[in-house]
Amino acid sequence: MQAALQQDSNRRTAERFDVVLPVVAGSGPASRQGSSSNVSEGGACIELDGPAPKVGESIAVRFAVPGTDETVEVQAEVRWAQSGPRSTCGVMFRRGHHRLVALLVAGVLGGAAGTANAAANTTVPTFDPDGDVVMNMDAGSERPDQQRITEAFSRQYDAIDACVVDSKGDKDRTLEGEAHVSVLLNPKGATPLGVNTELPGGSKKDRELRECLRSAVATADYPSYDGPPVVVEFAFELDPGFEEVPDEA
């Protein structure tokens, strides 16, 4: 049984996530403490103690990473501002935000097990696609539901995207081609018995990306069924890019 999944060239969108993180924002000694109210691929809305920075001003925004002692600094431009005892402003990211987005998607939002780099530590093994599978003679003849498998895999795209963003680093760099994934399903459901990943061109150089993708795929909530282990395969464009989604009025 093979479940082939092909996504269009604009799989990812610049979705805005409601996530509160401590921040320090400003320029030099004028930096002030505050918090984010939402974050996206393109920018964030932040609240700060004291007056708001000026519209058009370039500022540094340091985001605290939940569960760690580290921060991620992003260069941004102030696009709008509202002053008050606790001011609010919207900023557009310029540099340094890809690691932040990867950490948020993979860690805070639960898209993967930990950060994109931590995802490389998966304990799910690879498997020999030509090898013999040890059958349980008590198992039934049921086959897993293809739609449920596809839905489980699709829910991992945030984690997959986090792996890609963390791997390429530079937004202007594009990872061409399709990735191919084979999953040896566990009849008991959840964690599969094995996951194989092939990157475009058969390259074996980027081990971290390959292992990160394996972990993202392995953490999907695959359905259980009464039958033997089954291999399902997926193909998807590795780096389809982003499509901006306008804010609702």
22-99 classified as CATH 2.60.40.1930: no
Check pLDDT > 80 for residue 177: yes
Q: Where are the domains of the chain?
A: 22-99, 113-243
For 197, phi then psi, to 5°, come to -135, 135
Of these ranges, 108-112, 122-126, 169-173, the one predicted with the greatest mean pLDDT is 122-126
* Stronger pLDDT, 135 or 24, i.e. the higher one: 24
DSSP secondary structure letters along 11-78: -EE---B----EEEEESGGG-EEEEEEEE-SSEEEEEEEBSPPPTT-EEEEEEEPTTSS-EEEEEEEE
pLDDT digits (tens, 9 = 90+) for 225-241: 988 888 999 998 887 76
Check pLDDT > 90 for residue 59: yes
Of these ranges, 33-37, 62-66, 106-110, 171-175, the one predicted with the greatest mean pLDDT is 33-37
pLDDT of residue 77: 93
pTM over 0.85: no
